[in-house]
């Protein structure tokens, strides 16, 4: 199967799956769906030193606890500090964070998916997990979210590890509203979107908070998120 062509061949769902998770609704809903079809779902969170990570990981752990079941395995955390590379980037410092009126391009994190997959693929190969799933959505404009990137990345990973890992993107033909609707029975209030948290809560002013609010509104779902503003 080609990378991400999960709509036509769902056989990968029947074995152990690692899901690259943030605290966001996209990857959270993906975990929530996969635990109903796979015998083993391993959520993997990669700490990169981002400004919002403490609040994000806390929310993620609360969400996973709320959907706990036999097929959901304990959260795996990996360390991939990026501060020395990113330097004074807003994602590290929390300064000049893209606000609600910033274009989506402003929140691009260079090389993020490449970095996320690096350690994750090695961990999966060592632990006999042959599928890595990501909750990337339709219309993602960034170069490391393209079909070409994932096809090339999967080939490189398997060549380097002498492995047969599959990288899948089950939501690549869905938008955020569609994903929220799919996850409407899940504790979506425990998911995390904010890139400028205030005392452990969503700031309500950043680019990602604006996106979150709009998606809940467009989905016709109650947004129980606690926003600072």
* pLDDT tens-digit map of 134-185: 999 998 889 999 999 999 999 999 999 999 999 999 999 999 999 999 999 9
Which structural domains are found in the chain, ordered by start?
A: 11-92+111-187 (3.40.50.620)
CB burial of 190-228 (b: ≥16 within 10 Å; e: otherwise) equals bbbbbbbbbeeebbbbbbbbbebbebbeebeeebebeee
User: Is the pTM of the predicted complex or chain greater than 0.75?
Assistant: yes
Judge whether residue 6 has pLDDT over 70. no
Q: What does 30-73 look like in DSSP terms, one character per residue?
A: HHHHHTTT-S-EEEEEEE---TTHHHHHHHHHHHHHHT--TTBP
Average pLDDT, the chain: 95
Judge whether residue 209 has pLDDT over 50. yes
Of the pLDDT bands very low, low, confident and very high (cuts 50, 70, 90), residue 104 is confident
Of the pLDDT bands very low, low, confident and very high (cuts 50, 70, 90), residue 8 is low
Judge contact between 97 and 195, C-beta under 8 A.
yes
pLDDT of residue 4: 46
Give the dihedral of Cα atoms 118, 124, 126, 127; nearest 10 deg. Answer: 160
Question: What share of the chain has pLDDT > 70, as a percent?
Answer: 97
8 burial class (0-12, 13-18, 19+ CB within 10 angstroms)? exposed
């Amino acid at each position: 199967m080609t990378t991400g062509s999960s709509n036509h061949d769902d056989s990968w769902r029947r074995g152990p799956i690692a899901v690259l998770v943030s605290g966001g609704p996209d990857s959270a809903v993906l975990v929530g769906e996969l635990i109903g079809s796979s015998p083993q779902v391993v959520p993997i969170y990669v700490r990169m030193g981002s400004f919002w990570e403490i609040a994000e990981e806390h929310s993620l752990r609360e969400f996973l606890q709320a959907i706990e079941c036999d097929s959901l395995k304990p959260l795996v955390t990996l360390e991939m500090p990026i501060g020395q590379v990113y330097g004074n980037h807003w994602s590290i410092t929390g300064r000049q964070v893209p606000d609600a009126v910033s274009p989506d391009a402003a929140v691009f994190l260079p090389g993020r998916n490449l970095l996320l997959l690096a350690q994750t693929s090695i961990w999966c190969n060592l632990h006999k997990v042959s599928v890595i799933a990501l909750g990337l959505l339709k219309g993602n404009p960034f170069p490391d979210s393209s079909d070409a990137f994932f096809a090339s990345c999967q080939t490189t990973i398997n060549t380097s590890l002498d492995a047969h890992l599959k990288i899948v993107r089950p939501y690549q033909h869905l938008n955020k509203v569609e994903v929220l609707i799919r996850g409407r029975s899940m504790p979506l209030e425990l998911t995390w979107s904010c890139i400028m948290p205030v005392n452990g809560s969503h700031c309500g002013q950043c680019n990602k908070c604006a996106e979150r609010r709009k998606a809940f509104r467009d989905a016709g779902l109650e947004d129980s998120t606690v926003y600072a503003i």
